[in-house]
A and B are shown apart, each in its own frame.
Chain A
Amino acid sequence: MKQPSLGEFEELVLLMVAAQHDEAYGVSVLSGLENELGRQLNISAVHVALKRMEDKGFVISRFGGITEERGGRRKKYYVITALGKKILDEQFDLRSAIYQRIPKISFS
């Protein structure tokens, strides 16, 4: 079976979900990425990436409890799945393998 692909922005979101283990939800991922990238993102972009990855099976989600915040609306937390972790590892290996092959010449 062909493995589902992972887009560039999706990869960033997936990394953030994995990093914020069990505490990741829309806004936390958004602010985390905004801090790391140093630029403004739109929440809808994060949602689109999350929903797509959920369909592909890279993340699973659950609702949190009702709190006073957000007008009583529940947060939806995302956790990375084994498949998601595997694809992240593969991406990382692929990149570092190619990276290793860069000749050690000085880039002046």
Chain B
Amino acid sequence: MQTPKSATAFLRWFCRKDYLEEIEGDLVEVYEKEVEESPRKAKWKFAWSVLKYIRPGFVKNLSLTAFNNPIMFQHYLKIGGRTLLKNKTYSFINIIGLTVGIACCLSLFVFVNYESGFDNFHPHSNETFRVVQQTTYPDQTLYWNTTAFPLAEALRNDFQDLSLVTQTAGPLNRLFVVENQGNKNVQFESDYVLFVDAQYPEVFELFWIEGDKTTAFQHPHSVVLTESIARKCFGNTMSTESILGKTILLAGKDPLLVTGLVKDVPGNTNLRYEMLVPYEFFKLNNPYYSTNWSGNYSGTTFVVVPENKSSAAIESSIASWKKKYLNQDDDLRISYKLQPLKSIHTESLYGSSPGGYTMSATILQTATFVGIFILLIAVANFINLVTANSVARSKEVGIRKIIGSTKTDLFKQFIIENSLLVLISILLGSALSMIMLSQGNTILSSLNLHLQLGWTDAGLILLLGGLIIILGTFYPAIAFSATKPLQIISGSMVISRTKGFSVRKSLMVFQFVIVQLFIIGAIVVAAQMDLIKRKDLGFNSEAVLMIPIPQSEKLQVLKNELIGNSEVEEITFGSGPPMAINGLQLGTRYRSSEMANQQGIESEMKIGDVNYLNFYGLELIAGRNLTDNKENFDEFIVNERLIKSLNWTAEEAIGRKLVINEGEGTIIGVTRDFHNNSLQNDISPCIIINWTYFLNLAFVRIKNVNPIVMQSIEKSWKETFPASIYKYEFIDDSIANEYFIETISFKGFTLFSFIVIVIGCMGLIGLMTFITSRRTKEVGIRKVLGASVSEIILFFSKEFILLLLLAFIIALPFSYFFMQEWLKGFTYHVEMSIWMFLGGGLITFLIAGLSTGYLATKAALANPIKSIKTE
């Protein structure tokens, strides 16, 4: 009569020795009685009864002798250290693999943690909401992260439920002058001048160095500086107290008194600032904007909803209240929503606040998965290598057992030795992760990233370490301690092919499924990025320098200066390049003269002079070009998308009247569609107008880009506009910048794929070493009997090829699904083809083949006499 083996073994493992015989005997007796009725039921009942003995009185006392006994502990550490030093290659590969895995995983987790913790440090961050605006038109809905400026004040006056309401404007670009020592004025520029009202510091945490929140914003003509801008203006040597009370001239004319000094804005906030100026000042200087309810510029409103009130209730009362201020048309179109402060950063619908960026939840999820996968693959790798190495030590195990080591002792020894390895890797991994994070901060400095591994992450590191020790060392330790001493000593150990090996095989398949996923993913991502880079945008942006025109009346002066420069090929003026960059686009609405007033369709308005079309190579498919510069505009050039929306052909469109928000004009030309939006978005209707008032940028095409030309252009510009700060950008760079997040994700993904592949290969090499070393003799005998080298290589590779094939087949549907999801984010995306998958498979086979082929060849070429002689 056979009792269930595993249950019995389990009982023996945990049960007290002095109770065991009785319990086992009684269990067996009951089992024998019941097995006659129903064997299945009896088995289940047996197992169930065994489980019921897991209670305090019946479980063995935990023995921690290895830790209680410092001599054994020292011994294990010493032997562990010696083993690591003895097999330097093995230790090196193993530690490097694990270190890199841990470092990547940690860095990604820190990144995800940082990105998902935006604005969580404010006193009311859970109850703070941003007021966002939805504008509904018949054809579409627009989502705004900004609202009309007077909103906050109105809310504050009319809603007693809202405890705090704050209005900001900006961050805006401003020039300012500091009167320096020796009466020399120095000009500075800041992109992040934020106008905030007195309630702002109640809602948002400012880290004060000098001054405080009650006094700093009292007078309209005051300013609070961040530490770094204060240093920039007043030098590093000046004490913080003496900066207080200094004056700066905003835009060169308005004196502002420095009333406070705060620490630099933390990286994980959506609304950046370098200088904080009272909102009252903005109101004084922009009386039109700050009282206008129909405009939507750069005002952001935040409200704090008390805990006992629901945001939905407030939202609905705002919906019925807004007609008090909005005109009838706006009241129908505009609805205000409350967006939780904490979800601003990961929701792309409304976008971040001006000057900020969003990180979509998808990217964060992907990063988390990548981190977990890299760690898993590193652990799988670790297991493979450790197990492979333990075979080499089977003699040691045999002798230890014969001398009197118990299974538990060996288990402990193994765990301690490998924990040493894990510990080293954890330390190195944390250090590497710090380096990676600081590199990341530098590369992504435009995002104002402040990633760092702090003490708070110690818990995470410990957790990772514990997880690796449990996942990575328990299985090999059991296999290690279970070897039979006599078999080892007599050299008749047979590798059980079914049991232990299958764990390694499945680990390998698992590793290669992941490797395969990453390789295919990287191919698809690369193809998509290539598409973006090579996509014909419909215009020529090569070697185009974009410079500002601060005073439009001096436009002609600059033009004459630059035309004289022999290195300048062409020049044109406009409101922006054909594709919107830096999120800047002029918007308007248009309708044909037959359409009713509110039926307008959203479109882009582009201002360009006579040369604009030629300069960018925009092709006219009907009509003629714009005529010379005029004060007022009446000529429109439109794109195909626009006439399609009105159901006109290009020829029909010529001569038709079009009404836009700014006035009325005649269509004189139709251009072929060009990408006026970045490729995440579709082409939108576009109207090109020659309107001198808005020609605030100059575009210069240079023959050969070199420092001398750049300097001479700068010189001409500075002579024309001596009071302004010179800035330039190359349109190609700015267009590439539109895909910044995509490019960074692509680069990150490529880097991590590469790491995954390297770690995966290490595992493969480890496994191959294991197999070839085990079969040295077999190979020798085969060779003596006449097997050729190629036959032996094939003999080793056959199994791998099958496993790789299996991994490939498993990875296919997953990679298809994941990449399909990713590509959906692009309006213009590559179609996945079978070649991407086959190519990915081929690359994996090649990499695996190269890394194992070397070892297989080495084994096959070995002298059979030697290998047979080896014991």
A-to-B contact residues, CB < 8 Å: 25-27, 30, 42-45, 47-48, 51-52, 63, 69-71, 73-76
Contacts and interface: CB of A to CB of B under 8 A. Distances in A.
Contacts of B457: none
A47 B26 contact: yes
A25 B19 CA distance: 13
Interface string B477-520: 00000000000000000000000000000000000000000000
A43 B27 contact: yes
Nearest to A55: B57
Interface residues of B, number: 21
Interface string B71-107: 0000000000000000000000000000000000000
20 contacts: A25-B26, A26-B22, A26-B26, A26-B29, A27-B26, A42-B48, A42-B49, A47-B26, A47-B58, A48-B55, A52-B57, A63-B21, A69-B29, A70-B25, A71-B25, A71-B28, A73-B21, A74-B22, A75-B22, A75-B26
A70 B633 CA distance: 106
A63 B19 CA distance: 11
Interface of B: 1, 3, 19, 21-30, 32, 48-49, 52-53, 55, 57-58
Contact of B30 (A30, A45, A63): A30
A3 B25 CA distance: 33
A44 B28 CA distance: 12
A44 B58 CA distance: 10
Nearest to B52: A44
Contacts of A52: 57
B57 A48 contact: yes
Contacts of A69: 29
A61 B109 CA distance: 59
B104 to A, nearest CB: 48
Nearest to A45: B52
A71 to B, nearest CB: 6
Contact of B49 (A43, A73, A76): A43
B53 A27 contact: no
A30 B31 CA distance: 13
Contacts of B1: 71
Contact of A43 (B30, B55, B58): B30
A71 B19 CA distance: 16
B7 to A, nearest CB: 13
A51 B19 contact: yes
Given A43-B49, A44-B53, A27 B21 contact: no
A69 B21 CA distance: 13
Contacts of A74: 21-22, 25
Nearest to B48: A42
Contacts of A76: 21-22, 25
Contacts of B58: 47-48, 51
A97 to B, nearest CB: 34
B365 to A, nearest CB: 46
B57 to A, nearest CB: 6
Nearest to A52: B57
A44 B49 contact: yes
Nearest to A75: B25
Given A30-B30, A70-B28, A42 B22 contact: no
Nearest to B1: A71
A25 B29 CA distance: 11
A52 B52 CA distance: 15
A20 to B, nearest CB: 15
Given A71-B1, A76-B21, 7 more contacts: A42-B49, A43-B26, A48-B55, A52-B57, A69-B29, A70-B28, A75-B26
9 closest Cβ contacts across the A-B interface?
Answer: A73-B25, A26-B26, A44-B52, A76-B22, A70-B25, A27-B29, A70-B28, A27-B26, A44-B49
Contacts of B57: 48, 51-52
Contacts of B55: 48
B212 to A, nearest CB: 66
**Residue of B23, B26, B48 with most partner-chain A CB within 10 A:** B26
